[in-house]
Structure 1
Amino acid sequence: MMRLVIVLALALMLSAISLVTARYQARELFVQTDRLATKARELDTDWRRLQLERAELARNARVDDIGRNELHLVLGSPDRTLYLQGGELTSSSPQQGERP
């Protein structure tokens, strides 16, 4: 009878330790899940900020302003445009597979 009591007491102790360990792991996983959810929200916020920044940097008015003021570009006009006549291209170099 005494052996049975000792075995049951040991089983009860192992069960209690197992329960405490399982609860501790569950708590740790909950904290980690909460941290990861917070990190996901931060990353989402950063992503949206970067999308807005990219849209701002690619605006036509901004590109035009940089071209005019920083790069000193000017609009093309018909009097400054060079027109080439389209014609058949001739080459003095040998074509592929031909000998010189």
Structure 2
Amino acid sequence: MGRLIIFFAVLLMVSALSLVTARFQSRQLFVQADRLEDKARELDTDWRRLQLERAELARNARIDGVARKDLKMASTSPDRTIYIKGAASGTPQRSGEGRP
């Protein structure tokens, strides 16, 4: 009878230690999951900010402003336009030649 009581006492201690270990691991996993959720929210916020920044950088008005200011470019006007007549290669093509 004494051995049976000692056996059950040891079994109870092992079970209690197993329970404490399981709860400790559960708390660690909960904390880690919470940290990962915070990191995911932070990354999502960064992603949205980068999308807005990309949209801002790609705006036509901004590109036009940078071209005028930094590159000193100007819009074309009829008096500054040069019209070239003739074939692009410099030699006129006859109809039917060079085409399949």
Same fold flag (TM > 0.5): yes
Q: C-alpha deviations, 1:26-58, integer Å up to 9, x for none?
A: 111111111111111111111111111111111
RMSD, matched Cα: 2.1
Whole-angstrom CA distance in 1 between matches of 2:10 and 2:16: 10
State the 1:88 CA deviation: 7.0
1:80 aligns with 2:81: yes
Q: 3-state SS of the aligned residue for 1:85?
A: coil
Distance 1:69 1:7, change over 3 A: same
Between the two proteins, the alignment pairs up a number of residues equal to: 90
Give the alignment's TM-score, normalised by structure 2.
0.79
Structure 1: 4+ residue segments shifted above 6 A: 87-90
The residue aligned with 1:93 is none
Identity %: 60
State the 1:74 CA deviation: 1.8
Flag structure 2 segments of 5+ consecutive residues without an equivalent: 92-100
The residue aligned with 1:51 is 51
Flag structure 1 segments of 5+ consecutive residues without an equivalent: 91-100
Whole-angstrom CA distance in 2 between matches of 1:41 and 1:18: 35
State the 1:15 CA deviation: 0.3
Whole-angstrom CA distance in 1 between matches of 2:47 and 2:26: 31
Whole-angstrom CA distance in 2 between matches of 1:9 and 1:85: 105
Q: Which amino acid aligns with 1:86?
A: A
State the 1:81 CA deviation: 3.4
